[in-house]
Structure 1
Amino acid sequence: MFSKRIAVLAAFSTVLSTGAFAADIVSAQEVIPVFSWTGAYVGLNVGFGGGKVKYMDPAGHGTLFSVTSNGFLGGIQAGYNYQIDQWVVGAEADFQGAGIKGEMDMGGATIGTKIDWYGTVRARAGVLATDRLLVYATGGLAYGHTKTYIEDPFGMGFSESKTKAGWTVGAGVEYAVTDHVSLKTEYAYTDLGKARIFEGSVDRKVNFHSVKFGINYKF
């Protein structure tokens, strides 16, 4: 009789301990944090850009000539993301210092155009490939400062600066390394529109491609 009671108590104790162990497992699973993209962020980026500068007849007779431009860029960005299930939407603004320049020799004189700086204000929308890997598209307003100049061998020259607005569109990939730090790669096409320069004698159009590598800190 005594041995039966011991056996019953041992079995009851085993059931309780097993249940407690299972509860511990469920509890541990419940407290595992899930990463969320929702929140504000700031960051830095560097990259490279290049494209075409077209000089056109203002009378509408087509392109007179075009120059290939290229150069490095770098700047800052800030934005806000909001996650809805596997989708992430948000907005981002950035500002870039740039040295994207294209020049052409014209019978001893040099004509060139340089993008000194530019910025964008864009919407972003993407889907999560994993909980920490975001693939997104982006697009919106672009604005920038350009300078077109003519230099000759005798040190004489002329330049004209313009600040113009246009548009930009692109796509990128961003990976959250930690809960606060993410790395991204982004491609964009930017069009800063057309400007009439040199006392109305030439229309100039600036557009370029860029690839940027950045790091963000999420608050």
Structure 2
Amino acid sequence: MRLVITTALVALASSAAYAADAVYSYDAAPAAPAIQAQHDWTGGYVGLNAGYTGGKAKGSFEGESAYVTGSGFIGGAQGGYNFQSGSFVYGVETDIQATNAKAEVKDPDDKGGVKHKWLGTTRARVGFTPTDKVLTYVTGGVAYGNIKSIGDDVRFNKTKVGWTAGAGVEYAVDNNWSVKTEYLYTDLGKTKVDGVDIKFPTHTVRAGVNYKF
């Protein structure tokens, strides 16, 4: 009789322990994945850029016109500020560039032409973010720079003010760094020298990197 009772008590204890294990032994639920914050374009930034610039220089005198194309390297620094509202980004940017772009007549008996030594712009930017890290934008504003003669027949070296407009795409690598590519058309207007109207508008394609602080 005692053996039967003892066996029953052991079986009951084992069942209770198993039930306790069933209640309290379980795998921990997997942690919810962290939600990554969207990139915010708001803030000031500085950066560097480099690229290619070129165009067609035009000289006009008494109804007659002559054209010569030219190109060169361009590179410099930029800085600006963005403000983001929803998917739209508004900002202002200024830059200063060194360049060796020139349009020159190749005839050794009639050497001449024009060149830029430096260019700068101050522009508004209006952009849209199709994704939080990609900013597409249009831009436009004031341009200024140097235009200088090549050759001895016509001599000038002037600083001119004009306008510029273009578009670009910028990609945020992380919270601080971004890379961009941009196109700008720049026109500093006419330079009148000895009755000759001279223009050298340029098309610029450049890539750059920005640091947002």
**What TM-score comes out, normalization by structure 2 length?**
0.84
Partner of 2:40: 36
How much has 1:158 moved relative to structure 2? 5.3
Does 2:176 align with 1:177?
Answer: no
Question: Given the alignment of the two structures, is residue 116 of structure 1 paired with residue 117 of structure 2, yes or no?
Answer: yes
Match 1:191 to one of 162, 173, 187: 187
In 2: Cα distance, 1:211 partner to 1:131 partner: 24
**Distance in structure 2 (CA, Å) of the matches to 1:96 and 1:140:** 16
**What's the TM-score, normalizing by structure 1?**
0.81
Q: How many Å separate the matches in 2 of 1:9 and 1:44?
A: 65
Equivalent in 155, 161, 164 of residue 157 of structure 2: 161
Other structure's SS at 2:41 match: coil
Q: Does 1:55 align with 2:59?
A: yes
Q: Distance in 1 between matches of 2:178 and 2:25?
A: 47
SS at match of 1:193: coil
Aligned to 1:218: 212
CA distance in 2, matches of 1:93, 1:212: 15
The alpha-carbon distance between structure 1 residues 105 and 130, as it changes in their structure 2 partners (threshold 3 A), is same
Determine the C-alpha separation between the residues in 2 that align with 1:8 and 1:86: 55
Aligned to 1:64: 65
Give % identity: 45
SS at match of 1:109: coil
Structure 1, gaps ≥5 residues long: 152-156
Structure 2 residue identity aligned to 1:102: A
What is the rounded CA distance, in whole Å, between the counterparts of 1:194 and 1:137 in structure 2?
25
Residue 8 of structure 1: CA displacement?
9.6
CA contact (8 A) 2:104 2:150 kept: no
Could you say if the C-alpha distance between residues 96 and 150 of structure 1 is closer, same or farther in structure 2, counting changes exceeding 3 Å?
Answer: same
**Pairwise CA distance, 1:149:** 2.9
| Letter of the structure 1 residue corresponding to residue 91 of structure 2 | G
Aligned residues: 201
Structure 1 residues 195 and 29 mapped into 2: Cα distance closer, same or farther (>3 Å)?
A: same
1:7 is displaced (CA, Å) by 6.2
Structure 1 runs, 4 residues or longer, greater than 4 Å off? 6-11
* Cα separation, partners in 2 of 1:9 and 1:181, compared to 1, 3 Å: same
Alpha-carbon distance between aligned partners in 2 of 1:105 and 1:41, rounded to the nearest angstrom: 42
State the Cα distance separating 1:9 from its structure 2 match: 11
Higher Cα radius of gyration: 2
Name whichever structure is richer in strand by fraction.
1
Aligned AA (1:194): K
Residue of structure 2 equivalent to 1:202: 196
Describe the superposition over 1:10-39 as per-residue Cα deviations: whole angstroms up to 9, x where unpaired. 76x699x98xx58x52xx645x33211111
Residue identity opposite 1:36 in structure 2: D
| 1:138 is aligned to 2:132 | no
The answer (yes or no) to whether the contact 2:188–2:200 under 8 Å persists in 1 is: yes
Whether the aligned pair in 1 keeps the contact of 2:126 and 2:138 (CA below 8 Å) is yes
Counterpart residue number, 1:81: 82
